[in-house]
Structure 1
Amino acid sequence: MNRKRQLTISLAAALLSGMLVYSIYWLQIRQIREEEMVKVVVPKQFIPAGTILEEGMLSTISLAKASVQEGMLTRIGEASGLQAVAPLGAEEPLLAWKVERFPLLPRPGEATFQIPRNYVKSVSNGIRAGDRVGVYLSSDKEPSRRLYAEAVVVAAVKTAANTEIESPENSSLESLTSGDKEKMYASRRDANGTIDSVNLNLTERQWLELDAACKDGSSKVVIAYEASAIDMEEEEGA
């Protein structure tokens, strides 16, 4: 009886030892595989150009190190808040050149409208392309009010000569051709000049509402600067 018990114990110990060795081996193989793989950011579904990326739109997949290309984003946090400047395919690794920080393109469902001069009562002098602005209606017939509940994006701010307002010492065009978007944005922020026309990214509904309110001349819009996400990030980091 004792010999049978000892044999059972020996077999159980051998089985447990084998399972332990196999588990360690499997964990080592898994660790090696994980070390050879890199997680990259991908869209969960097709994303049209002009879309502002949100964390819920993105996921990660694992790629072999040999397949990872320069410029692939590896953290969802660094992609969130950027704008797609090209269509993004589902499960397609997100490349840095396909997104940008300063959203100037209209989003899906929007178009860029140049606001007629006779529709505008006043414009904040400090606004620049990429800023978010509030649009208010000043009327002779009814109380003044905010035209849109949400802020809208400024696509361009032009002088009477139809040129972008920017720093003469640092052309945004030169910055754009060199790929320095930070410097391009800074050149517009540091610029001084008289604003003659403003282009806004609006939906069809927003434009028709503005046009209907202003075309008879009884109402005009006031375009006021509002704090952008970029400004809020800079304040939080200060």
Structure 2
Amino acid sequence: MNRKRNALISVMAALLSGLLVYGIYMLQLRQVKFQETVDVVAPVRFVAAGERLTNELLGVKQIAKASYSDEMLLAADGLEGMEVVVPLGANEPLLRWKVDKFRLLPSKSQSTFGIPRDYVLSVSNGIRAGDKVMVYASGDTVASERLFDEAVTVASVKTAGNMEIDDAKNSSLMSMASGDKEAMYASRRDAIGMIDYINLNLTEAQWLQLDALCKGGKSKVVIAYSPESLDVGSAVPAGEVP
């Protein structure tokens, strides 16, 4: 009986020893994983919103591989000339959504369409390039309703003299990038000129829908400013961790 009990105790002790060794191994493995590092792109100094990046502004920061996320950039290739959407701290890992380059250009699925003046019933006079707008249908042949489900981007707004509308001393785009709502409001108040031409970034389907509605002359569109203009974002491709 004692032999069986001693054998059982020996087996249990061996199992506990094995579990202890395995636990220590896993802890060491986790520690090694945290000690592994990866190089990510980071600014060498504070960078204000609206400032454009140069190669001299960008450096490399080592972080634990376990702290890496897909939003972080591994190489500075293609970042020169990018506009900073929000302020960046020195040595802060650069996230792809914090920079943008062509905010006023259409995406791959879009084109920039000049909306004919006789297609427009009204347009909010506070609209500026880079804003998001909602487009509504209005007319005798259709029920008044929102034409597109989502807001669309304004590529440019111009006067009859082909001049871009904005405040030359305090750009609305710069104020928007800095998140300064007061300065953005002031720049819109100080900007001079009535909107005669407006260009929107639309998909082909959106343009065809708008054109089919308005080309007969019985229906027009109303273009209204959207609060989505205050949202920022970007799409700079991120790399893969080696």
Normalised by the length of structure 2, the TM-score is 0.57
Q: Secondary structure at the residue paired with 1:5? A: helix
Structure 1 contact 128–157 (Cα < 8 Å) conserved? yes
Residues 35-114 of structure 1 aligned to structure 2 (within 5 Å): 35-36=35-36, 65=65, 72=72, 96=96, 100=100, 104-114=104-114
Alpha-carbon distance in structure 1 between the residues aligned to 2:7 and 2:21: 21
- Once the two structures are superposed, residues 117-155 of structure 1 have per-residue CA deviations (whole angstroms, 9 ceiling, x without a partner) of 23222210112223332223343x435523614232222
Q: Secondary structure at the residue paired with 2:21? A: helix
Alpha-carbon distance in structure 2 between the residues aligned to 1:183 and 1:229: 13
Structure 2 contact 136–148 (Cα < 8 Å) conserved? no
Give 1:2's aligned amino acid. Answer: N
Q: Report the Cα offset of residue 231 of structure 1.
A: 6.2
Structure 1 contact 135–221 (Cα < 8 Å) conserved? yes
Cα distance change of structure 1 residues 134 and 15 upon mapping to structure 2, 3 Å threshold: closer
Structure 1 contact 102–130 (Cα < 8 Å) conserved? no
Larger displacement relative to structure 2 (7-16 or 95-104):
95-104
Q: Relative contact order: is structure 1 or structure 2 higher (C-alpha 8 Å, sep ≥ 6)?
A: 2
Matched residue count: 181
Match of 1:2 in 2: 2
Give 1:228's aligned amino acid. Answer: E
Structure 2 contact 111–204 (Cα < 8 Å) conserved? yes
Cα distance change of structure 1 residues 184 and 118 upon mapping to structure 2, 3 Å threshold: farther
Q: Secondary structure at the residue paired with 1:217? A: coil
Cα distance change of structure 1 residues 198 and 188 upon mapping to structure 2, 3 Å threshold: farther
RMSD across aligned positions (CA): 4.1
Alpha-carbon distance in structure 2 between the residues aligned to 1:205 and 1:161: 30
Normalised by the length of structure 1, the TM-score is 0.57
Structure 1 gaps of 5+ residues are 41-62, 75-93, 233-238
Cα distance change of structure 1 residues 101 and 107 upon mapping to structure 2, 3 Å threshold: same
Q: Give the % identical residues.
A: 55
Give 2:26's aligned amino acid. Answer: W
Q: Secondary structure at the residue paired with 2:106? A: coil
Structure 2 gaps of 5+ residues are 41-62, 75-93, 233-242
